[in-house]
Amino acid sequence: MTWHAYVDESKAADYLLAATRVDPGREAGARRVLRALVPPRQSRLHMRHEPDRRRREILTAVGSLEVVTTLYRARARPGTTQISRRRACLARLVTDLAGACDRLVLESDETQDARDRRDLVALTREAGCRDTLRYEHLRASQELLLAVPDVVAWSYARGGEWRRRVTSHVEVVEVADA
């Protein structure tokens, strides 16, 4: 089976790169579930400004989706930067996706998209999937499935009740940055 992967990040104390893998045949149904959660006059789903009751509703819906999310965590250490931690997480992600994924969608951030593209050229070549893994940057308002890694990363980074609600649905991979 070939997956599609949707990626977002959390830049809290540790750098978290959340990658949600979705069976392409289940994407339309997952998008319908997510679209129903987007409030009127909003273009996307985001946890930051939601009240706790609504956060719980969103987490329940996301937990019902048939998706797999991996959190790549690069711990903050003296002498490391978010750029180096992101690259290390991307390197591990690409290695894990090689041969199993043909589409990678990263949430767009104009401050890092160009660097990501340069890194991904090298990383996909090194992983042997340069010709089979296509990647693109999209805004969350352009791709509803980017809400899933956003929700998972936010919840995990937030800790407490929020982390407990997603822990059973995610795998955490520790990544050492260069």
Percent of the chain with pLDDT over 70: 98
Query: Where exactly are the structural domains of the chain?
Result: 3-174
How far CA 11 is from CA of 5, 14, 109, in Å, comes to 20, 7, 13
Residue 5 binned pLDDT confidence (cut-offs 50, 70, 90): very high
- Concatenated DSSP letters for 71-118? EEEE---TT--HHHHHHHHHHHHHHHHTTTEEEEEEE--TTTHHHHHH
CATH of 3-174, picked from 3.30.70.1450, 3.30.420.10, 3.40.50.10490, 3.30.420.40, is 3.30.420.10
Q: Has residue 49 got a pLDDT over 90? A: no
Segment 81-98 shows an average pLDDT of 95
120, 159 contact by CB (below 8 A)? no
pLDDT at 13: 78
Residue 157 binned pLDDT confidence (cut-offs 50, 70, 90): very high
46, 38 contact by CB (below 8 A)? no
Q: How far apart are the first and last CA of the chain?
A: 32
Mean per-residue pLDDT of the chain: 94
In the block, residue with structure tokens 């978010």: 82
Cα–Cα distance for residue pair 68/23, rounded to 1 Å: 9
Pairing label, strands 101-107, 134-138: parallel
Residue 1 binned pLDDT confidence (cut-offs 50, 70, 90): low
User: Which pLDDT tens digit goes with each residue over 59-76?
Assistant: 999 999 999 999 999 998
Segment 85-90 shows an average pLDDT of 96
User: Which pLDDT tens digit goes with each residue over 126-135?
Assistant: 999 999 999 9
Q: 0.75 cut: is pTM over it?
A: yes
pLDDT at 178: 57
